[in-house]
Amino acid sequence: MKKQTKLIRIQTEKTQFREHSTPLYLTSSFCFEDAQMGKDLFDNTLEGNIYSRFSNPTVQEFVDKVCMLEDADEGIATATGMAAVFAGFVANLVSGDHIVSSKALFGSAHQIITQILPNWGITHTYIDASAPKEEWEKAIQPNTKMIYLETPSNPGLELVDMEMVGELAKNHNLIYFVDNCFATPMLQTPSEYGANLIVHSATKFFDGQGRVLGGIIVGTKALIEKVRFFCRQTGPSLAPFNAWVLTKGLETLGLRLDRHCENALKLAKALEGVKGVKKVNYPFLPSHPQYELAKKQMTAGGALVTFELEGGFERVVKFTKLLKIASLTSNLGDSRTTVTNPDTTTHAKVSKEDKAKLGIFEGSMRVSVGLEDIEDLIEDFTQAIEGSN
Ligand X SMILES: *Cc1c(COP(=O)(O)O)cnc(C)c1O
- Please tell me whether residue 182 binds ligand X under the rule CB under 6 A: yes
Please calculate the CA angle 344-157-366 and round it to the nearest 5 degrees.
35
Give min distance, CB of 108 to ligand X, in A. Answer: 6
Give min distance, CB of 201 to ligand X, in A. Answer: 3
- Please tell me whether residue 150 binds ligand X under the rule CB under 6 A: yes
Give min distance, CB of 215 to ligand X, in A. Answer: 5
The stretch near ligand X (CB under 6 A) out of 58-66, 74-82, 233-241, 262-270 is 74-82
By beta-carbon proximity to ligand X, the closer residue of 59 and 277 is 59
- Please tell me whether residue 158 binds ligand X under the rule CB under 6 A: no
Give min distance, CB of 213 to ligand X, in A. Answer: 5
- Please tell me whether residue 179 binds ligand X under the rule CB under 6 A: yes
For ligand X, what does the binding mask look like between residues 96 and 115, x meaning CB under 6 A?
----------x---------
The stretch near ligand X (CB under 6 A) out of 57-65, 76-84, 93-101, 227-235 is 76-84
The stretch near ligand X (CB under 6 A) out of 5-13, 115-123, 175-183, 276-284 is 175-183
The residue sitting closest to ligand X, measured at its beta carbon, is: 81
Please calculate the CA angle 300-303-305 and round it to the nearest 5 degrees.
105
By CB under 6 A, name the one of 52, 55, 80, 92 that touches ligand X: 80
- Please tell me whether residue 177 binds ligand X under the rule CB under 6 A: no
Q: In whole angstroms, what is the distance from residue 256 CA to residue 251 CA?
A: 10
For ligand X, what does the binding mask look like between residues 187 and 226, x meaning CB under 6 A?
--------------x-xx--------x-x-----------
- Please tell me whether residue 82 binds ligand X under the rule CB under 6 A: yes
- Taking every pair of C-alpha atoms in the chain, what is the biggest distance, in angstroms? 74
Give min distance, CB of 239 to ligand X, in A. Answer: 13
Nearest to 217 by CA among 46, 92, 47, 357: 92
By beta-carbon proximity to ligand X, the closer residue of 201 and 247 is 201
By beta-carbon proximity to ligand X, the closer residue of 74 and 179 is 179
By CB under 6 A, name the one of 181, 223, 245, 303 that touches ligand X: 181
Count the residues of the shown chain that bind ligand X, applying the rule CB under 6 A.
Answer: 14
In SS3 terms, the chain reads as CCHHHHHHHCCCCCCCCCCCCCCCCCCCECCCCCHHHHHHHHCCCCCCCCECCCCCHHHHHHHHHHHHHHCCCEEEEECCHHHHHHHHHHCCCCCCCEEEEECCCCHHHHHHHHHHHHHHCCEEEEECCCCCHHHHHHHCCCCEEEEEEECCCCCCCCCCCHHHHHHHHHHCCCEEEEECCCCCCCCCCHHHHCCCEEEEECCCCCCCCCCCCCEEEEECHHHHHHHHHHHHHHCCECCHHHHHHHHHHHHCHHHHHHHHHHHHHHHHHHHCCCCCEEEEECCCCCCCCCHHHHHHHCCCCCCEEEEEECCCHHHHHHHHHHCCCCEECCCCCCCCCEEECCCCCCCCCCCHHHHHHCCCCCCEEEEECCCCCHHHHHHHHHHHHHHCC
Give min distance, CB of 341 to ligand X, in A. Answer: 16
The stretch near ligand X (CB under 6 A) out of 44-52, 80-88, 216-224, 284-292 is 80-88
By beta-carbon proximity to ligand X, the closer residue of 203 and 364 is 203
* Residues binding ligand X (CB under 6 A): 80-82, 106, 150, 154, 179, 181-182, 201, 203-204, 213, 215
